[in-house]
């Protein structure tokens, strides 16, 4: 008895098409089977989460690493004082000539004068008002012949000291440059 047997061979095209069909069918089934909040950090490829993928107010300051802020990506005039931490801006972060009196507050020059008798030494101080901070200062004699002996900060003001080498009484004046709040 002769039997006609035919051998069946699987072709590579059939294997590839079956695998593609399997992936297509199970891929969507797998996505449907993901439980809520089951995606973890290890399952997210770096750089794939975009702004539109985040809920409003989802990222807060404590969740941002120090090295994560790229200043080149911060929009001009977008930061306010509330965005900055205490003592987070120092001299190195401020451009030359970028801060003026409108950013700091009013600058006021306070003065005080006193008279020095002939041959006498003395001093006078000009003080900043409450709520102001002394930035600098100086002094000035009324005429030549009255010589400064010192000019320096004192408390929240400026002290100017001189000796009167003229033939009569002289006036000396102290100046304090004060920054208001």
User: Dihedrals φ, ψ of 8, to 5°?
Assistant: -110, 125
- 77 located within any domain: yes
Query: What is residue 54's predicted lDDT score, i.e. its pLDDT?
Result: 82
- 86 located within any domain: yes
Which residues, in sequence order, are CB contacts of 109 under 8 Å at separation 6+? 175, 176, 177, 178
Range of the domain at 50: 42-90
Same domain (yes/no): 113, 67: no
**Among 61, 90, 119, which residue terminates a domain?**
90
Number of domains the chain contains = 2
- 80 located within any domain: yes
Which residues, in sequence order, are CB contacts of 140 under 8 Å at separation 6+? 160, 172, 173, 175
Q: What is the pLDDT of residues 99-126, one digit of tens each?
A: 765 677 889 999 999 999 999 999 999 9
Inter-residue contact 118 to 164 (CB < 8 Å): yes
Query: What is residue 112's predicted lDDT score, i.e. its pLDDT?
Result: 97
User: Dihedrals φ, ψ of 20, to 5°?
Assistant: -60, -40
- 128 located within any domain: yes
Q: Rounded to two decimals, what is the model's pTM?
A: 0.48
Same domain (yes/no): 86, 109: no
């Amino acid at each position: 008895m002769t039997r006609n047997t035919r051998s069946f061979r699987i072709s590579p095209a059939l294997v590839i098409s079956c695998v593609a069909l399997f992936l297509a069918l199970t891929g969507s089934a797998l996505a449907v089977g993901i439980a809520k909040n089951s995606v973890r950090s290890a399952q997210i490829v770096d750089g794939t989460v975009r702004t539109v993928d985040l809920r409003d107010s989802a990222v807060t300051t404590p969740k941002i690493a120090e090295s994560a802020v790229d200043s080149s990506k911060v929009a001009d005039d977008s930061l306010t004082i509330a965005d900055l931490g205490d003592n987070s801006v120092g001299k190195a972060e401020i451009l030359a000539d970028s801060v003026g009196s409108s950013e700091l507050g009013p600058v006021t020059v306070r003065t005080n004068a006193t008279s020095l008798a002939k041959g006498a030494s003395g001093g006078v101080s000009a003080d900043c008002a409450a709520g102001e901070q002394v930035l600098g200062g100086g002094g000035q004699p009324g005429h030549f012949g009255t010589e400064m002996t010192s000019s320096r900060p004192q408390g929240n003001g400026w002290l100017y000291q001189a000796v009167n080498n003229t033939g009569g009484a002289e006036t000396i004046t102290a100046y304090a440059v004060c920054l208001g709040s």
